[in-house]
């Protein structure tokens, strides 16, 4: 079986993203959102969670 070569870093990320789908425990997002208002640095955490791949992981059904 022949494989296409991967030459650029963005190609590696694409392959890994498809192969390793994000998974979190079922209650993680709910517990995270509950604890976030009391967490120091909340604003920065919210910004990071709004970006991929964290956004997809937080939205994924457990």
Of all residues in the chain, the percent with pLDDT exceeding 90 is: 31
Using left for φ > 0, alpha for ψ between -120 and 50, and beta otherwise, residue 42 falls in: alpha
15 in helix, strand or coil? Answer: helix
Looking at residue 40, its pLDDT comes to 95
What does each of the 62 residues of the chain score in pLDDT, given as a tens digit?
A: 456 677 887 777 777 766 666 677 878 888 999 999 999 999 999 999 999 888 888 876 54
Of all residues in the chain, the percent with pLDDT exceeding 70 is: 79
């Amino acid at each position: 079986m022949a494989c296409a070569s991967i030459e650029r870093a963005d190609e590696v990320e694409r392959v890994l993203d498809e192969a390793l789908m994000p998974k979190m425990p079922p209650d993680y997002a709910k517990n995270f959102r509950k604890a976030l208002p009391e967490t120091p640095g909340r604003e920065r955490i919210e910004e990071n969670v709004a970006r991929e791949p964290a956004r997809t992981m937080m939205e994924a059904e457990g």
